[in-house]
Amino acid sequence: MQTKKAVKKTAVSAKKPPKTAIFVEPVNGGVTAAAGFSAAGVKAGIKASRKADLAAVFSDRPAAAAGTFTTNAIRASSVDWCEAILPSQKIRAILCNAGCANACTGDQGVRDTAGMAAIAGVELGVPQKSVLVASTGVIGKYLPMERIADAMPKLAAALSSTAAAGTAFAQTIMTTDLAKKESAVKITVGKEAFFIGGTTKGSGMIHPNMATMLCFITTDAAIDSALLNTAVKRAVNKTFNNLTVDGDTSTNDMVLVMANGASGVSVKGRGGAMAAFEEGLFAVCNDLCKKIAADGEGATKRVEINVTGAKTEADAQLAAKAVATSNLTKCALFGNDPNWGRIACAVGYSGAKFSKQKMSIRLCGLEVFRNLQPVAFDHKKAHAQLKKKVVSIDIDLGLGGKSATAHTCDFSYDYVKINAEYHT
């Protein structure tokens, strides 16, 4: 998914070809890639940097929508607002501000979230409860509601279905992010086609002060909200739930998906278009995860941990996430050090079951560990491979057929700098 060239068109269900040929292919774009969606981003005066900080995505018709939300017991009122509404068949818009997380703000915060939805509803001519709200930024500060109200007409007027408008949305929701993050796929089902596109922000899954992980995905497929809810949870479990920059789970995280049916393609039941929809949703989520990992605070490289040979998928996740979260492993990767001992140690304390005889570790493709003992390898070559922008760690647990992939980045001086020098 990194580039168009990197991923060929892949037929779904290769073993048992469906009657209708189905293809999933990456395309340019983000939240406006799918038909019937418009977006915009404007300056409301919330960010200290005075950059654009208020964004909206709008569907020209009621959309099915579903989401996943932070598990943090201390969470922003925007998370509560969305979770109370979803899944729903009647969502029209998402309003997102950056620069203020509106978390730990008590009753005032709850009123302000409802106010955000009300202001957008009035301006867009849709019910308050058809507007989802997301906030990201500093914890413990109140939203400047007057400024948001003042900026809303300008935001509504700027809504556009162009790719540039989608990009404006992606740029507006950034906080400590250095790069905008968009991804989209086109899914062809026989002679019909639909799109799934999205954007995310967060320079870490988890940054309670300045950067929270938010993700917004739109599709013009027609899908029931309950089915969409299942598909979203499945995709997020395989992607965003295996992403980490620093191990701190934020108060504002959410992934929201809107499906408005504008393509005329209906997704139902199992197999066929549904399998293609799930594959496309996974592809967009997975690509956005890679983009967050690559832009992790202080990151000099992106790291992908692929665990195979697990007895259960839960075991594969435990091992992949333990390695992805290990500070020692990530410092070694920053230093281009093929330090397999730290990787093995993390697998050891992960709680995942593995075969002591068959468990093996490969670093950038080179086998470095097997049978709980070191394997001779070319240190110079490993050191050189570790200097690349994308590094892979492959761990075979040697027990079964289940697998999982975790996404992370290395751990550099700049991570400490960014998080020590930012003062509340």
175 lines the binding site for its own copies (CB under 8 A):
no
Nearest approach, Cβ of 334 to its own copies (angstroms)? 5
346 lines the binding site for its own copies (CB under 8 A):
yes
246 lines the binding site for its own copies (CB under 8 A):
yes
Which of residues 186 and 302 has its CB atom nearest to its own copies in the complex? 302
Taking contact as CB under 8 A, which single stretch among the options 40-48, 160-168, 169-177, 412-420 is the one that binds its own copies?
Answer: 412-420
415 lines the binding site for its own copies (CB under 8 A):
yes
Q: Cα(354)–Cα(304) distance, rounded to whole angstroms?
A: 20
Taking contact as CB under 8 A, which single stretch among the options 29-37, 55-63, 153-161, 413-421 is the one that binds its own copies?
Answer: 413-421
Contacts with 46 (C-beta within 8 Å, 6 or more apart), sequence order: 53, 54, 97, 98, 99, 100, 137, 143, 144, 147, 148
Backbone angles phi, psi at 96, to 5 degrees: -130, 130
Which of residues 73 and 84 has its CB atom nearest to its own copies in the complex? 73
Nearest approach, Cβ of 420 to its own copies (angstroms)? 3
Backbone angles phi, psi at 251, to 5 degrees: -85, -10
Contacts with 227 (C-beta within 8 Å, 6 or more apart), sequence order: 267, 268, 274
163 lines the binding site for its own copies (CB under 8 A):
no
CB 154 within 8 A of CB 123: no
112 lines the binding site for its own copies (CB under 8 A):
no
Catalytic residue positions, numbered: 212
Which of residues 127 and 348 has its CB atom nearest to its own copies in the complex? 348
360 lines the binding site for its own copies (CB under 8 A):
no
Choose, by CB under 8 A, the member of 18, 115, 140, 400 that binds its own copies: 140
Other residues' Cβ atoms within 10 Å of the Cβ of residue 24: 25
Which of residues 29 and 137 has its CB atom nearest to its own copies in the complex? 137
413 lines the binding site for its own copies (CB under 8 A):
yes
251 lines the binding site for its own copies (CB under 8 A):
yes
Choose, by CB under 8 A, the member of 22, 47, 53, 75 that binds its own copies: 75
347 lines the binding site for its own copies (CB under 8 A):
yes
Choose, by CB under 8 A, the member of 138, 168, 235, 393 that binds its own copies: 138
Taking contact as CB under 8 A, which single stretch among the options 133-141, 143-151, 275-283, 303-311 is the one that binds its own copies?
Answer: 133-141
Which of residues 50 and 417 has its CB atom nearest to its own copies in the complex? 417
Taking contact as CB under 8 A, which single stretch among the options 40-48, 310-318, 332-340, 393-401 is the one that binds its own copies?
Answer: 332-340
Binding mask 209-228 toward its own copies (x if CB under 8 A, else -) reads x-------------------
341 lines the binding site for its own copies (CB under 8 A):
yes
Residue type, 224: D
Which of residues 150 and 248 has its CB atom nearest to its own copies in the complex? 248
Taking contact as CB under 8 A, which single stretch among the options 4-12, 50-58, 137-145, 287-295 is the one that binds its own copies?
Answer: 137-145
143 lines the binding site for its own copies (CB under 8 A):
no
Backbone angles phi, psi at 209, to 5 degrees: -105, -40
Choose, by CB under 8 A, the member of 11, 150, 153, 248 that binds its own copies: 248
Binding mask 368-397 toward its own copies (x if CB under 8 A, else -) reads -x-xxxx----x------------------
Backbone angles phi, psi at 159, to 5 degrees: -55, 135
Which of residues 177 and 287 has its CB atom nearest to its own copies in the complex? 177
Nearest approach, Cβ of 423 to its own copies (angstroms)? 5
Which of residues 113 and 219 has its CB atom nearest to its own copies in the complex? 113
Backbone angles phi, psi at 141, to 5 degrees: -115, 150
Binding site for its own copies (CB under 8 A): 71-75, 103-106, 138-140, 206-209, 246-251, 325-328, 331-332, 334-335, 337-342, 344-349, 354, 369, 371-374, 379, 411-413, 415-417, 419-424
